[in-house]
Amino acid sequence: MKLARVKVEYTCGLMLTDRVSLDVTSGIVSIPPRLTQLMDLMDQTECLPAFSLDYEGYALPVSLQTDGVFVVSVPRDPRPGLRSRLYAIANPSKDQRQQNGRYLHTLSAASIGGAVGYAHSSAIWDWQTAFGTAALVVLGVVLWHAGFLHMKGK
Q: Taking the model in full, what pTM does it have?
A: 0.51
Written as one letter, the residue type at 102 is R
Q: Are residues 26 and 65 in the same domain?
A: yes
Q: Which domain holds residue 24?
A: 2-72
Question: Which of 19, 52, 72 finishes a domain?
Answer: 72
CA distance 38 to 35: 5
Q: Is residue 44 part of a domain?
A: yes
Per-residue pLDDT at 84: 66
> Structurally, how many domains does the chain consist of?
2
Lowest-confidence pick of 30-34, 43-47, 97-101, 140-144: 43-47
- How do beta strands 70-72 and 2-9 pair? unpaired
Q: Give the C-alpha distances (Å, rounded to integers) separating 124 from 64, 127, 129, 131.
A: 69, 10, 8, 13
In-domain check, residue 77 = no
Do 102 and 148 belong together in one domain?
A: yes
pLDDT tens per residue, range 14-26: 888 888 888 888 8
> Domain check: are 45 and 90 in the same one?
no
Share of the chain above pLDDT 70, in %: 90
Specify whether 148 is located in the same domain as 124. Answer: yes
Whole-angstrom distance, CA of residue 53 vs CA of residue 56: 10
- List all residues 6 or more positions away from 60 whose beta carbon is below 8 Å from its beta carbon: 52, 53, 54, 72, 73, 74, 75
Q: Are residues 65 and 106 in the same domain?
A: no
